[in-house]
Structure 1
């Protein structure tokens, strides 16, 4: 290998390294501003790009649900938001990652959330009042 071809090789290697640094900075910037919010009847859950809870909003309507339903709704919404943000992160990284890395990443992602089941509070015919008497 002569001096010129070694210099060209090193220059090419430096150009590739510079491009990788530029791409990683671009990904970091995109991921830093990435959030996902899921909402349902007075509750909104927002997670950051790493899936960490970033914000939780609960209004008066949600407080009427009772503790068990409120808990279940918050957990469901957090899971939905985390799954959505994980898939958005994968889409952001995909142009820069190799195919084998993306195949592995997809196996680690949570399942896309399904449409939420209707709540009993959504059913206008649901009557949660106990009968006044059992005998007539």
Structure 2
């Protein structure tokens, strides 16, 4: 049975309305999403938002006794773990509506698995500048 132009238009409008609704739900979920990675003893914990940006940082007095280099390495490691966890949740949230092409693009924007990354060489103690801008995985 062939649709009339009015039926076709109504069908298209219903599909568009559903897409808008799904988009709003995803946007709300992403705004509320965060992940935390913490050391087993809770001395350091890092929380990131859905885009991988630092949202909260907890440093216990015990962690301060480690020295700046160990503390920095711990924070960076935990941030990478939290970003990897939140990236997986972002994919799970977006997958139902993004389709395979959308997910393929999204995956190219995600941070690498911190467990698979090679350790970065330590910089000399007198090198106190940050030569890399903060990175997020969603644009």
**Runs of 5+ unmatched residues, structure 2:** 117-139
Q: Of the two structures, which has the highest relative contact order with CA contacts closer than 8 Å and spacing of 6 or more?
A: 2
How many pairs were matched up? 113
Query: Which of the two has higher C-alpha Rg?
Result: 1
What do the CA deviations read for 1:40-81 (whole angstroms, capped 9, x no partner)?
140000001111111000001111111100011111111111
Which residue of 2 is the match for residue 30 of structure 1? 29
Q: 2:31 matched to 1:12?
A: no
Which residue of 2 is the match for residue 63 of structure 1? 64
Work out the CA distance in 2 between the residues paired with 1:76 and 1:96: 32
Q: TM-score, normalised by structure 2?
A: 0.75
Work out the CA distance in 2 between the residues paired with 1:27 and 1:104: 17
Which residue of 2 is the match for residue 122 of structure 1? none
Q: TM-score, normalised by structure 1?
A: 0.76
Question: Shift in Å at residue 107 of structure 1?
Answer: 2.9
Is residue 77–residue 114 contact of structure 2 (8 Å, CA) maintained in 1? no
